[in-house]
Structure 1
């Protein structure tokens, strides 16, 4: 995939990269050195300018993002943060919104697979009920509505 040229997407990525760099307590030079790129190349990312695919991959590693996270951000999604617990174990914290959407999709798929008689409204009620039950159990956080 060629580097994107959409200014809004590049600005979104720049904001995410800068925020993550600051969270990790790194300065721009630190990231460039660890990623084995020049400071000028790194600055292109924070200045919302496109860089090569390889460069995004190098920066993702330094930011402890899963491979492909930069492109996910460019598409309007969130980067996936990973933590290495050991040389062969990688953990990715679950994003609450993603978990809720995944649970809702799983409930829909299961309801459709096991019954012919549920209407769309019934399936929607079932999804809401499962999400509410998971919140009651403390598996999902309460909403701040």
Structure 2
């Protein structure tokens, strides 16, 4: 079993909270907990599993995402959609920047084709971004 890194989890929770809420208090209120409890998680201190379960929907993460992060993984972004009193969790696609895609292509190309020229790899990266957009993937401009 992997070692739990609560500091890593705390940093991820804080980064996500800053994107979604104007304050720690607003995030904590939305999760139904005190801002002090939320702060303890962000500081990498241990919390009850129920605390994480309250935070995950507020952060638009699937249940179990906090544990995954603490064990070295990544959260699963989701949306919670309500209808007629029911709430459904829906997977949310990750959004990549064009720069991320180009970096991934460059690393991959040079790892598999060491004789490729920089120009050909850059052209390949540009083309991939274009093709992904045509397929409907959300690729943000740099």
TM-score normalized by the length of structure 1:
0.57
What is the match of residue 15 of structure 1?
11
What is the match of residue 103 of structure 1?
none
Task: Report the Cα distance in structure 2 between the residues aligned to 1:51 and 1:68, rounded to whole angstroms.
Answer: 14
The structure whose residues are more often strand, as a share, is 2
What is the match of residue 52 of structure 2?
56
**Are the structure 2 counterparts of residues 25 and 38 from structure 1 closer, same or farther at C-alpha, using a change threshold of 3 Å?**
closer
Count matched residues.
101
Residue 14 of structure 1 contacts residue 45 of structure 1 at CA under 8 Å; is this kept in 2? yes
Q: CA deviation at 1:19?
A: 1.0
What is the match of residue 124 of structure 1?
none
Q: CA deviation at 1:84?
A: 2.9
Q: CA deviation at 1:51?
A: 0.3
Which ranges in structure 1 are unaligned for 5 or more consecutive residues? Answer: 97-134
Residues 58-89 of structure 1 deviation map (CA, whole Å, 9 limit, x = unaligned)? 01121111111100101111111111344355
**Are the structure 2 counterparts of residues 84 and 14 from structure 1 closer, same or farther at C-alpha, using a change threshold of 3 Å?**
same
Which ranges in structure 2 are unaligned for 5 or more consecutive residues? Answer: 96-129
TM-score normalized by the length of structure 2:
0.58
Residues 83-134 of structure 1 deviation map (CA, whole Å, 9 limit, x = unaligned)? 13443553213458xxxxxxxxxxxxxxxxxxxxxxxxxxxxxxxxxxxxxx
Task: Report the Cα distance in structure 2 between the residues aligned to 1:24 and 1:35, rounded to whole angstroms.
Answer: 13
Q: 1:28 aligns with which of 24, 27, 37?
A: 24
Task: Report the Cα distance in structure 2 between the residues aligned to 1:136 and 1:41, rounded to whole angstroms.
Answer: 45
